[in-house]
Amino acid sequence: MTRTLGVLIFPDFQILDIAGPVAAFEIAARYVPGAYEIKVMARIPGPVASSSRALMVAEPLTDAPLDTLMIVGGDGSRTAALCAHTADWIRAASGRARRTTSVCSGAYLLARAGLLDGRRVTTHWERCADLARRYRKVRVEPDRIFVRDGDFWTSAGITAGIDLALALIADDLGEDIARAVARQLVVYYRRPGGQSQFSALVEMGGRGGRFATLLDWMRERLAEPLGVEKLADKAAMSPRHFARRVRPS
């Protein structure tokens, strides 16, 4: 059984939003030949420039049923979401698809099409508050790497698209195949923690650079338990003083 994955891109899309998931599905198809057929589509077919200006060639939008509809994100997502033709196509394509997914800020396009009303979703941690403000009927879960709500799957930012793809592959082909794909990609099969760990690190890093070395050390050990005492020792502070310094003001 071949499952058709239709990926929608638009000007200023984030190239890793598509490259990561597509690589995962490509590798899965090596283990299970014929498992996936990948179609990259855009409202205006042909070369489409990503936010990095690297080009990807897209096919025209299709009316044929897709197994999985995937909407990527990027700097151009909110502009693309305003296109009525695109929103109409997304609604129709989603209605024909077995499941509908988004990576990063691709959630804006699904929300604009009215497909996320009342649903639990996530997006890049920097955009969670904005998505919730713009689309009040959408239930945004800011700490999740990906969220499944029925036949709708949404992921956090950029590399989280790989986590989403692995979950979709596990749903289709089983966990053994998904784990094998993760090993080939040299990524966690199940990433430890949520995405708030990354926003918290960025926030700490903006406080005068005092914790820059500590943050680098922490990023290399996100899978380990990092208690206050261990962090304070690494920062050459007492636990009490360290806790005071990093507590949100």
Chain segment 54-95, per-residue pLDDT in tens: 999 999 999 999 999 999 999 999 999 999 999 999 999 999
User: Which of 3-7, 141-145, 162-166 has the lowest average pLDDT?
Assistant: 141-145
Q: Higher model confidence: residue 71 or residue 227?
A: 71
SS3 track for the chain? CCEEEEEECCCCECHHHHHHHHHHHHHHHHHCCCCEEEEEEECCCEEEEECCCCEEEEEECCCCCCCEEEECCCCCHHHHHCCHHHHHHHHHHHHHCCEEEECHHHHHHHHHCCCCCCCEECCCCCCHHHHHHHCCCCEECCCCCEEEECCEEEECCCCHHHHHHHHHHHHHHCHHHHHHHHHHHCCCCCCCCCCHHHHHHHHHHCCCCCCHHHHHHHHCCCCCCCCHHHHHHHCCCCHHHHHHHHCCC
pLDDT higher than 70, residue 225: yes
Q: How would residue 100 be classed by pLDDT, with cut points 50, 70 and 90?
A: very high
pLDDT value, residue 149: 97
For CATH 3.40.50.880, the residue range(s) in the chain are 3-185
The overall average pLDDT reported for the chain is 90
pLDDT higher than 70, residue 180: yes
Q: How would residue 249 be classed by pLDDT, with cut points 50, 70 and 90?
A: very low
Global pTM value: 0.80
Q: Higher model confidence: residue 154 or residue 219?
A: 154
What's the mean pLDDT in 103-130? 96
What share of the chain has pLDDT > 90, as a percent?
71
From the list 72, 104, 128, 214, the catalytic residue is 104
Q: For this structure, is 83 an active site residue?
A: no
Query: What CATH number does the domain located at 3-185 have?
Result: 3.40.50.880
Chain segment 183-199, per-residue pLDDT in tens: 999 988 887 656 655 55
Q: Higher model confidence: residue 215 or residue 80?
A: 80
